[in-house]
Structure formats: C-alpha cells, structure tokens
Amino acid sequence: MSERELPDGTTERLDRDAPAPLHAQVSEQIRTRIVSGDWPPHYRLRSEPELAADLGISRGTLRRALATLIRDGLLVQVRGRGTFVTSTAIEPSIAQKLNTLSEDFARQGVSYTTEVLSQRVIAAPPPLATLLDLDPGQSVLHLERLRSTTTGPVAWLVNYVRTDLAPGLDRADLADRSLFGLLENDHGLKITTGRRTFSATAATGRVADALGVPEGFPLLYLEQITYLYDGRAIEYSDVWIHSERMRVTSLLSRR
C-alpha cells in the first residue's frame, strides 16, 4: 500500500495488492471528494502530469480513472482549459456557441426527452414578421416544445421558423431531432450567426405549469434570432429555463 499527499494536504491510500485495479481506486477516491464537497462544482483539477505524480501512478491509469468520472457526469474536460468538477445543474454552452439545447445535451451525454406540444403553420404576427424580414401575413412554423431530463422539465421552448426557406417543417419529426440539425441537413441551410439575450423572469401561466413550478418562480429567459450565412433571419425563439435544474455558464478569455 502506498500513501500520497494531494495538493490540499490530505493523504490518499492506493493498495496495489487489492483486487480493485488502481484506476478504479483512484476514480473512487476522486468521486468521494466530489460527493463530499471537498472538490466543489467548477473546481479545476491539477494537470494530468501533476496529478499522476501526486498519486504515484502512470498517466494512462489516471486517464482511465478520469474517463470513468467523465462518463458518469462528475467531471468535464474543456479543451485547452483542463478538467473541472461539474455542477449539480446541467450547464449547456449556449452562452458561448450557437448550439441548440438538444445538441448540448447529446454532447454532454445528458439523457433527455422532448415533447412537442404545438407544431403548426400560422401567419407571422406583425412584430415577429419584422424581426424575420417577412411581409405581413407570411407564414411561419409555430413550434412549442417541453424538454425534460431525469430531474424533470428543464426548458419550455417556443420557436418561429420561416417556412418559405424550409417548407414542410410542420410534418417533420421534432421530438427526436435538433431543429438546427434538421434545417441544415434536410433543407441545406447554412446557419452561421445568432443573437441571444438572457434575462431573469418570473414563471406565469402555461410556462409555470409546463415546468412544474409555482407562479413567480425565478426562471432564466432566453430570446434568440438566428441568421443564415447570407444575413437572412431564419428563426426566432423564446426559451424559459428552470433556474434550479439548468445553469448557463460562459468561459471567458481576456484577450
């Protein structure tokens, strides 16, 4: 049995004669630190060479241990930045990249379901027609969906999509497919930019009922307009996010 002192001054024991392989022992020790709160959400682990040296193991053994915890959702690796303890709430990258929630959930391995509550073609209301560069009365797809994870409902999404650029959307399967993925892969549209505005709001009416929260519950509200490569607007959306089940985090660079 060997003892190693970690950066926080505590001592870890690895039993090289135990039936459990070293990588399993290391992952269990790190898991204990995360669950106990010794390593809180957003804590950045030391670099792989440093941590492997601290534990007296090879980098290959360490990587196997970390891979187990990444798969279990306790750690996340950010290219060029390191390995971090995840938050207890889901943290999509929608404040950094033009991803959909479904794309972020799939990338993070988050199990989720999407319930389509409304999917029909309507005449664009005047303010919306202006935002999407449409003539008054032109049609748009009106799409309402509820996205849930194992913790419960996390987001209520309302989208308006130009049907002149993507005909037949009212018949598309939007319970199991990403809206952006469908627009790009099935309709050949090149989505390049978007404008997202975040604000705080209180839950009311249908939104409160859908997310299973009381009236006045604090929600994160996201308003978005999405554009194609040639500058044409393709989609407008309103998204209400359950503030206790999902957080939006930005990774910032000073330069």
CA count, 13 A, side-chain hemisphere, 166: 29
| Pair 119, 237 in one domain | yes
Return d(Cα 183, Cα 180) in angstroms, integer: 5
| Pair 48, 125 in one domain | no
Return d(Cα 36, Cα 38) in angstroms, integer: 6
User: pLDDT tens-digit profile of 95-152?
Assistant: 667 777 888 777 767 788 999 999 999 999 888 888 898 988 899 999 999 999 888 9
Do the domain assignments include residue 92?
no
Judged on CB neighbours under 10 Å (0-12, 13-18, 19+), 254 is: exposed
| Pair 61, 137 in one domain | no
Radius of gyration of the chain from its Cα atoms, rounded to whole angstroms: 23
| Pair 109, 225 in one domain | yes
What per-residue confidence (pLDDT) applies to 83? Answer: 87
What CATH number is attached to the domain comprising 16? 1.10.10.10
Please check the confidence at residue 3 and state whether its pLDDT lies above 80.
no
| Pair 211, 126 in one domain | yes
Categorize the per-residue pLDDT at 5 as very low, low, confident or very high, splitting at 50, 70 and 90. Answer: very low
Total number of domains constituting the chain: 2
Place of tokens 């490569």: 229
